[in-house]
């Protein structure tokens, strides 16, 4: 099994962010009358219910797509797939754990912990992968 490294995983994440922007910008414009929200556009100064909905959608996107298909849009385009350490389909529980691990991987900021984990792990696993028993591989 050939594991996906930092650069291609980062590019897949970037492609997923483009998918989110294609959806979120028009929705924000329709709901809030602006393409990008400033603190003045937020209901609670630094946060807004619309942002909460977007965060839920983002996490469901990763959890469900990786569980059902093994790939998000970005991973699919680049030929990546999330599997268990035995190269099998991941379970819903593994997907939940793997994606909850994004909170740890993001520490202290800009995914530094995840980057260090991927670059130092023999299987190129981020912390969420190690906890869930998953890997991101090249198809």
Query: 47 pLDDT band (50/70/90 cuts)?
Result: confident
Least confident of 2-16, 17-31, 37-51, 102-116: 37-51
Mean pLDDT of 30-54: 83
Mean pLDDT of 47-74: 95
Tell me what percent of the residues of the chain surpass a pLDDT of 90.
81
Distance CA 49, CA 32 (A): 11
Distance CA 3, CA 6 (A): 10
Query: 31 pLDDT band (50/70/90 cuts)?
Result: very high
Place of tokens 């385009």: 77
Nearest to 72 by CA among 24, 10, 117, 13: 13
Single pTM value for the model: 0.90
Tokens of 59: 């996490």
* Mean model confidence pLDDT for the chain: 94
Contact between 124 and 118 (Cβ < 8 Å): yes
């Amino acid at each position: 099994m050939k594991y996906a490294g930092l650069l291609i995983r980062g590019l897949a994440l970037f492609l997923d962010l483009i998918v989110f922007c294609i959806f979120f910008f028009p929705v924000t414009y329709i709901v809030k009358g602006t393409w990008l929200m400033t603190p003045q556009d937020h209901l609670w100064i630094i946060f807004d219910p619309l942002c909460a909905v977007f965060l839920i959608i983002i996490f469901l996107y990763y959890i469900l797509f990786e569980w059902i298909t093994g790939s998000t849009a970005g991973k699919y385009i680049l030929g990546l797939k999330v599997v268990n350490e035995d190269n099998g389909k991941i379970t819903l529980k593994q997907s939940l754990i793997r994606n909850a691990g994004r909170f740890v991987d993001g520490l202290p900021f800009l995914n530094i912990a995840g980057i260090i984990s991927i670059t130092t792990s023999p299987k190129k696993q981020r912390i969420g992968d190690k906890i869930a028993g998953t890997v991101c591989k090249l198809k």
